[in-house]
Structure 1
């Protein structure tokens, strides 16, 4: 079967790239011909823009030139990161050659496929523009084509009133609805859509051995891996304490972490996977750092984020009986026991099997 997927494409984020790859790889390994739609609306096309102005107060004739000149060295360096991700995309993510930049272009030239899948990741998060974009609900797909969501994420507990009609009208058109969080099932039930099924993020569709054999490279030091989007003071405190107590180094892939001994911000997804796998301990507020910690059976602490998207990590940890790993204080951390993955594996395998069955049966 020819399948086209749609997700937030080429957004230069480790988790976004790896979930996109995983879904396509699983589908192609199952005997399908799957590609991602090359959908790049303007709001998803500003990464590594050498002439971008993030603050309107700098968008004045002379000030603008001085601002861009001051930013240029850092932005040129950052292109190394872009090239690393672009190389990963070229090698591992089969992409439809046609570039689309709007829902209207998708409707005017509908990609050729027998089935369409929207997902995974935060495609339905209405805090961002993609959650309000009909393209990510397969609005452009004709009625006679199979339409499926797989692990689409709202990433929040409650929808704003302004998007409820959009969500209801478009999700109601889908032939099968798989969402990533149990909270997503509740959101759709509140809209009168009772057919949604909770499934795991696509990275769980590929087993531990696949990720290790294909992408994990040696890292020969003892270190704590920090993945922190928010410069969270609790994460910093815990990492520095573990370093002091155990003599570990601190490694990260976040540009904002200034206390790390080594920062691999310019590296691509392979380095991220290697660092998660080889670490002595993972401290994070990233959904996909949590997901790969579970896949690789690592010890971890998960810190609540400052924004209202903790539902993603909370729901995932709860599925595996690890909700206590989501902490808000040093006291919470001190009370954590070692994760016994022998107790987790049965639950994990059940949800993986259930997720695969949902996806494959939906395509029949």
Structure 2
């Protein structure tokens, strides 16, 4: 029981920090309507984010993908990375004890690939537009998360846990390990329906250390999300996030601030993913692996079998050593949490099973010998199981897995 309580404390503090976006109508603001000061702030941010490209690709979904030289990417604006030497490839990959863990049944592509690819020695960056910035709660908070308060969670996680999950609903699994060096899992791809522009729905992994109460929570996050207020559409998109101070000042989504160093020229972080699973039809999964490269100390990201880049060890505190908790699952955010019909996963409950409920399978952790192994114990958390729920299981083909999700508001969900 004590171990479970400890695990859930780490889980709760890691999950609940998303900023409230400004109303969708605010996106209608144009540069002509802005004050001179505000216009200058927006343009200054865009100059920092949008580096000069060597090539540009117009995606069919409306994105503009800039191919930026790998040495000119936003990461190197970070003061700790001014003289950073790029690690173009990891020293080695985690070992697998089961070859099934390396199988991806269907290839995943990104929509922008239909119109081209970025050349060698460049990385694809989704261009940030004025309207993207104007949908944020403020210019300074663009692409960042922010702590919010919630009703007391003492019944779940103990009296020392802060109230931080306002507007957030989860259906997740958590594994506690004093020394964890990464995780791998296969994420079922869906396109959940979003009830309002400010809502989002996602499926992701969290690698965490530190604590929210100490303002030193370190997180590495990766997965897919549907987030109209962030991207201006309802596409399913690849995303990453990181912080080292409980989301107070450091970290951001994707490449929206200095930190993550990308080395791959084919995968656009923040780009749309396709194809997507259909209810009762073909299922598509995306393998995501995050692990600590011991010689460099960097935390590498692999997506669909492709090494994408890394979070440098120097931008963290606790994660310079190891993680203490790993989580996998779904999350919905809405200002009307408990009253929203925003879907999680497929929009169907776990008990419907394969092809109907969303799943995450082959959930593994990386141990100190750089070996992928089954998590030693998995605890489940769903704040409102009648809205969104989670179930776990094990099998020969899927290892440790979960089904999760739900429709949100329904006759049994207040």
TM-score bracket, normalised by the shorter chain, equals under 0.3
1 or 2, which has the higher strand percentage?
Answer: 2
Query: Of the two structures, which has the highest relative contact order with CA contacts closer than 8 Å and spacing of 6 or more?
Result: 2
TM-score, reference length from structure 2: 0.20
TM-score if structure 1 supplies the norm length? 0.22
- Please identify which structure carries the higher helix content: 1
